[in-house]
Amino acid sequence: MQLTEEQLDLLKEIGNIGAGNAATALSTLTGKKVDITVPSAKYVSISDIPFLFDSPEEIVVGIRMTIKRDLIMDILLILDAKTTKMILFSLMNAECKNITQLDPMSESALREIGNIMCGSYITALAEFTNSYLDPSPPELITDMLTGIVSEAMLSTAEYEDNAVFVETSLSVEKLEKIKAHLFLIPGIGTLNEIFGKMGLM
C-alpha cells in the first residue's frame, strides 16, 4: 500500500494535534514549559526502522501500547540513549547514566511520558475518525533497536508490514530540542478504515 501526500498530511495533522495535547499534559505534570512539534510523517517498512537511527544495534528504550476496538494498531515510541537521558533530566530532574539500569522511579516516569505522548496521538486519532479506541497500559522495553523491531515484526500476521513514522521534536523551556520516534503499526485494513472515515480513499 502506498500513501498519497494528502493521506500523509492527514496523519501529520493528527500528530500535530496529539503533540499539542501531549505538550499541555507534560507541562502540567512537570510544571515546565514543553513544546512538541511534528516536522513530518512518513510511511516506512518496519524492517527499515533501525536505519532511521544512527546505529541499528544501539540500546534504546521503547514504550509500546496496543490499540483495540474500532481500529487495531500498535503505537511504539522509541527513544535512543541520549534522548532518554535528556527527557529524564529535563522533565524529571533525574540523572541517568545507563539506560539498561533504570531505577523504578525512572521506569515509572518513562511509562508515564510514553503514555502521554502515545495516548495523545490515540485521542486525536479517535476524535478525527469518531472511533472508540481502547489502549493497553504502556509496556516499557529496553533492548537493542533491532530486537525491539524484530518483536514488532512478529505481529505482522495481523498487522501491516509498514508503519507510519511520526517524527517528533520536543523541547523543554527552550533547551536543546529532543528527537523522538513515534511509530503507528496498523492492523491489516486499519489505514483503509481511517482514510475511508476521512473521505480520502
Q: What pLDDT, on the 0 to 100 scale, is given for residue 143?
A: 93
The span from the CA of 138 to the CA of 7, in Å, is: 27
| Grid cell at residue 183 | 511509530
CATH number, residue 124: 3.40.1550.10
Residue 193 CA to residue 133 CA, distance in Å, equals: 13
Find the domain containing 31 and state its range: 5-196
Domains of the chain: total: 1
Buried b / exposed e across 3-32, counting CB within 10 Å, b at 16+? beeebeebbbebbbbbbbbbbebbbeebee
Strand spans (E) along 22-156: 34-45, 59-69, 73-80, 133-135, 139-144
- For the question of whether the overall pTM of this predicted structure is more than 0.85, the answer is yes
Residue pLDDT, tens place only, 83-132? 899 888 888 888 888 999 999 999 999 999 999 999 999 999 999 999 99
Q: What is the pLDDT of residue 30?
A: 84
Does residue 201 lie within any of the structural domains?
Answer: no
